[in-house]
Amino acid sequence: MNYILIISYFFPPCPQTASSRIFGFVKEFKKNGYYPIIVTRQWEKSINTPKKSLASIGEGIIHNVYEDYEEYLLPYKSSIRDWFFIRSEKSRFYSIVSKTLTLFNSFLNPIITKTIPYSNLYFVSKNIIEERKNQISNIFISANPYLLFKFGYKLNKKFNIPWIADYRDAWTTNSMAKNERLIFKFLYFFERYFEKKWVNSCLFFTTVSEIYVNNINEIINKKGITLFNGYTELQENNFLEKDEVDRVTILYSGSMYSNQPVEDFLESVQIINDFCDNKISVCFLGVGYNQIQKQRILNSKHYNSTYIELTDWVGKDILNKYIQNSDLLLLLSYQGFNGIPTSKIFEYLSTNKRILLYPSDNGILKEILSDSGNHYIIDSKSMLINFFKNLNHKQLPLKRNSNIEKYSTEYQVKLLIIEINSYNER
Residue-range domain boundaries for the chain: 2-78+117-228+409-424, 248-407
81: Cβ contacts below 8 Å, ≥ 6 apart: 98, 101, 102, 104, 105
For the stretch 9-39, pLDDT in tens is: 999 998 777 888 899 999 999 999 999 999 9
Measure the CA–CA gap between 409 and 20, rounded to whole angstroms: 10
* CA 318 to centroid of chain Cα atoms: 18
What is the four-CA torsion angle of 89, 91, 96, 98, rounded to 10 degrees? -50
151: Cβ contacts below 8 Å, ≥ 6 apart: 7, 121, 122, 125, 141
Measure the CA–CA gap between 349 and 331, rounded to whole angstroms: 12
Q: Widest CA span of the chain, in angstroms? A: 71
The per-residue pLDDT for 366 is: 92
What is the four-CA torsion angle of 348, 349, 351, 355, rounded to 10 degrees? 60
Indicate the residue type of 140.
F
Domains 2-78+117-228+409-424 and 248-407 agree in fold: yes
CATH number of 2-78+117-228+409-424: 3.40.50.2000
The per-residue pLDDT for 389 is: 87
The per-residue pLDDT for 200 is: 95
CATH number of 248-407: 3.40.50.2000
* CB contact at 8 A, 126 and 387: no
Measure the CA–CA gap between 145 and 106, rounded to whole angstroms: 11
Measure the CA–CA gap between 229 and 299, rounded to whole angstroms: 33
Indicate the residue type of 54.
L
Measure the CA–CA gap between 266 and 302, rounded to whole angstroms: 6
Q: What is the pTM of this model?
A: 0.88
Rg (CA), the chain: 22
- What is residue 165's three-state secondary structure? strand
The per-residue pLDDT for 64 is: 96
Measure the CA–CA gap between 383 and 174, rounded to whole angstroms: 31
pLDDT along the chain (426 residues), means of 10: 94 85 92 96 78 87 95 95 86 88 91 94 97 92 95 97 92 74 80 95 94 91 92 73 70 89 93 84 89 90 92 82 90 81 86 91 90 90 90 71 89 95 82
Measure the CA–CA gap between 354 and 262, rounded to whole angstroms: 19
What is the four-CA torsion angle of 44, 46, 50, 55, rounded to 10 degrees? -30
* CB contact at 8 A, 200 and 222: yes
* CB contact at 8 A, 213 and 222: no
CB atoms within 10 A of CB 342: 22
Range 358-395 burial, b when 16+ CB lie within 10 A, else e: bbbbebbbbebbeebbebbbbeebeebbebbeebebee
